[in-house]
Amino acid sequence: MPASRRAGEARRRGDELLSIGAVLAFLRDDFPEVTISKIRFLEAEGLVEPQRTPSGYRKFSPADVERLAYVLRMQRDHYLPLRVIREHLDAIERGEQPPALPAPEHRPGPMEEADRELVAAGSPSPGVRLGRAELLAAAEAVEGELAEWEAYGLVSAGPDGGFDGDTLQIARLVAELGRYGLEPRHLRAMKAAADREVALVDQVVAPLRRHRNPQTRAHAEATARELATLSVRLHAAMVQAGLRPKA
């Protein structure tokens, strides 16, 4: 039975509020890979807002479970970023029809994945600062993994000891690659290539950044973003071409 239907039955039985462990049990049948850290992360991203007891424990309504199931389904079947899923949920709450979905059987290729990541990372929440524990929860990682990422220079904390939105994006991707057996030592070449691309972009925009005219400096930042986007898309295109079966 789908999680949303089980949640509906719970509502009819009067079981209005569920612990996070009970929510996990509801969702696990349909989404075996879901974890408590994942649920907490979706809460931190504003996709669900459970109630809190006076002692601070989360209590989820059946409607919260339905929202979580919807989010997980959109990620699994349609590969939608959370920003787009949030727009879908907002439209549903307003009584509107959400945007059309891509076919569930369509798996994005490297170019589409690159574009999706660029969209997801293109408008980070301003001033996002995560503590160490928050970053670990969001990336679904453990302390030993984060320490290893830092040792290889893949991620680093700011002067205040916190992590920004860009670092969170990197941590998620490194964690995802790790699930396929790629260890931080394997990713040093990617980090070195990224550093070379940064240097190349800096070389192009440095004269504009030094200009006294604020509009010229703003143009420099826009140019840097555009060059970064083209660089990522070129990399994805090259990977896609290299993976294509040879005739």
Per-residue pLDDT of 193-243, as tens digits, reads: 989 999 999 998 898 888 888 888 888 888 888 888 888 888 888 888 888
* CA geometry: angle 162, 119, 164, nearest 5 deg: 5
What span, in angstroms and rounded, lies between the C-alpha atoms of 107 and 209? 40
pLDDT attached to residue 11: 45
The greatest distance separating any two alpha carbons of the chain, rounded to the nearest whole angstrom, comes to 68
Region of 14 (left: φ > 0; alpha: ψ -120 to 50; beta: rest) is left
Residue 90, CA atoms < 13 Å, CB-side half-sphere: 7
Dist. CA 35–CA 175, nearest whole Å: 14
Question: Is residue 38 predicted with pLDDT exceeding 90?
Answer: no
What's residue 110's pLDDT?
A: 53
pLDDT of 118 = 53
Work out the pLDDT band at 61, boundaries 50, 70, 90.
very high
Structural contact between residues 126 and 157, judged by C-beta atoms closer than 8 angstroms: no
Residue-wise pLDDT tens digits, 73-87 = 988 887 777 888 988
Q: Which strand (E) or helix (H) includes residue 172?
A: helix 165-178
* pLDDT value of position 116: 56
Instruction: Band the pLDDT of 123: cuts 50, 70, 90.
Output: very low
DSSP 8-state secondary structure symbol assigned to residue 212: S
What is the structure's pLDDT at 9?
53
Q: Which of 90, 86, 81 is nearest to 169 (CA)?
A: 81
Task: Determine the Cα–Cα distance for residues 53 and 225; give it in Å rounded to an integer.
Answer: 44
More confident of the two residues 247 and 200: 200
Structure confidence at residue 89 as a pLDDT band (50, 70, 90): very high
pLDDT single digits (tens) 18-29: 999 999 999 988
Q: What is the pTM of this model?
A: 0.52
